A and B are shown apart, each in its own frame.
Chain A
Amino acid sequence: MVITLHSIPASPPGRCVVTTLHVLGLEFEEKHVNSVAKEHKKPAFLAMNPRGCFPVLTDGDFIIAESFAIAMYLCNKYENGENRLYPLEPEVRGKVDQLLFVGSVIYDSLLQYLNLLGVIYDGGVMAPEKLPSVYHALGLCEAFLQGDFMVEDHFTLADIFMSCGLYLLDLIDFNDYGAYPKTVAWLKRVRDWPYFKTANDKGMEELDNIYRPLLAKNTQNRSL
């Protein structure tokens, strides 16, 4: 039964799934989606995910989309032992679930502020009017962090997915973290986690190499 991940290395949600796969020690194949050629909007891909987005994961005959749902599925199916990424006790799992949905909101805010897809595919520029939502996201992290991790005293899916959007701030060298000391420490803790580094460093570099020059070019074009 082969696990195949359809994604691109630069995709933040895709990398959240890769981190999960690494922690669970699962072997998998990566199939790169030709996003420039809009492969994900074509019939073969839509047959896997009607929403036409990646990542999508296949596990034998089973197909599943939505990065959060993929990570939850992998844990439900393959995770064992203690200090789980996706704990079993309803109360603890509930906290993780809550933060996965909050993480989804945070990711969307960052995506909109950076206009990630617009810059990369449509000659767009950033959306400065969305900056308040970035501070709101940082404030949420600060409020939810009770200890070193988002839930319990070890890494869970909540840490993986809540941090995902905030890393995108590196693309613009954002530096205004003064009011969020717990968040800064936590982001560093997640970033230094070996599973996270292996899954993300290269992809993040790739995204940086795509986004930064395009943002500069598009911004310059707008001011001409």
Chain B
Amino acid sequence: MIRVHGNTILTCVIFLQIFEIHFSYSIRKTFKMVLKLYLMPASPPSRNALMVINALGLEHEIKPVNVAKGEQKQPEYLAVNPRGKIPALQDGEYTIAESRAIACYLCNKYEKNSENRLYPTCPQARGVVDQLLYASENMNDMVIGYLNVGGVIFGSAVVDEEKVTELHKALALANTYLGSNNYVAGEHLTIADFFTASPFIMAEELHDFNDYTNYPAVKAWINRVRALPYFDKTNNEGLAAIAKMYKDKLAANKAAAK
């Protein structure tokens, strides 16, 4: 009977895992299979996809899309995303679009097994995250509707402050989803936090929103997301750019309306 010492088995397993990770990394480098993220830094969906890449520590190339020149409508880009929207991801030969789908794909493909996965694998925990990925689109519409980002930046709109009730509805929803947890899908950070917090951070940066009197838990959670080590490098430049665009244009629109 062959006896193999437990520690020897463990050592072999660890060695093989390291070898496998190094080997696949080498293969990727050899065949230049670098992740390419097509994005518009000012845009929240682009930055949310980048949050996931940075959270997973994935090597990547940023490919800015020149929206002013209509690059997203050109055949080269439509080949990557027939919808002509940004962001999109290229992983070797594979292409995928829709920021939330990109987030899920990156986690499914690259997230290492751990207790606190950004995209849990247990059906129930994953279900909670998936529900929030969809619900957060609706919440995003409420907040962006109030800010009227498109109307201000590309048109002559000003903010209808009566619509701040929409922002408060979104805050109330976030508050309910948070419950007594530190993160929106439970006790640890998930991709749901990136997408759900994003519109409120936009309201803070673009319109200096700060009235969390009734929602201290939401404020604490938003700050928790902002404090993530990769938050600033992912968002600061893009947020600053869109905030400046928005504020300058809003002022101009207001002056023109007088």
With A50-B176, A101-B100, A143-B82 already in contact, the answer to whether A66 and B94 are too (CB < 8 A) is: no
Residues of B within 8 A of A101 (CB): 98, 100-101
Number of interface residues of A (CB under 8 A): 27
Closest residue on chain A to residue B97 by CB atoms: A98
Q: How far apart are the CA atoms of A93 and B121 in the complex, in Å?
A: 14
Q: Which 4 A-B pairs have the closest CB atoms?
A: A94-B105, A73-B127, A69-B130, A97-B101
Residues of A within 8 A of B137 (CB): 104
What are 27 A-B interface contacts by the 8 Å CB criterion? Answer: A50-B176, A51-B135, A51-B138, A62-B124, A65-B131, A68-B134, A69-B130, A69-B134, A72-B127, A73-B124, A73-B126, A73-B130, A76-B123, A76-B127, A77-B123, A90-B109, A93-B105, A94-B96, A97-B101, A97-B104, A97-B105, A98-B101, A101-B100, A101-B101, A140-B83, A143-B78, A144-B82
Closest residue on chain A to residue B89 by CB atoms: A94
Q: Does B177 contact A (CB under 8 A)?
A: yes
**Which residues on A are within 8 Å of B, measured CB to CB?**
50-51, 62, 64-66, 68-70, 72-73, 76-77, 90-91, 93-95, 97-98, 100-102, 104, 140, 143-144
Q: How far apart are the CA atoms of A90 and B83 in the complex, in Å?
A: 21
B74-115: which residues lie under 8 A (CB-CB) from chain A? 78, 82-83, 94, 96-98, 100-102, 104-105, 108-109
Closest residue on chain A to residue B100 by CB atoms: A101
With A50-B176, A64-B127, A93-B108 already in contact, the answer to whether A102 and B98 are too (CB < 8 A) is: yes
Tell me which of B78, B100, B102, B131 contacts A64 (CB under 8 A).
B131
Interface of A is mostly: helix
Q: Does B159 contact A (CB under 8 A)?
A: no
Residues of A within 8 A of B104 (CB): 93-94, 97
Tell me which of A66, A90, A102, A140 contacts B105 (CB under 8 A).
A90
Decide if A98 touches B108 in the complex (CB within 8 Å): no
With A65-B135, A94-B96 already in contact, the answer to whether A73 and B105 are too (CB < 8 A) is: no
Residues of A within 8 A of B109 (CB): 90-91, 94
Q: Does B173 contact A (CB under 8 A)?
A: yes
Q: Does B147 contact A (CB under 8 A)?
A: no
With A62-B127, A72-B127 already in contact, the answer to whether A97 and B100 are too (CB < 8 A) is: yes
With A101-B101, A102-B83 already in contact, the answer to whether A91 and B94 are too (CB < 8 A) is: yes
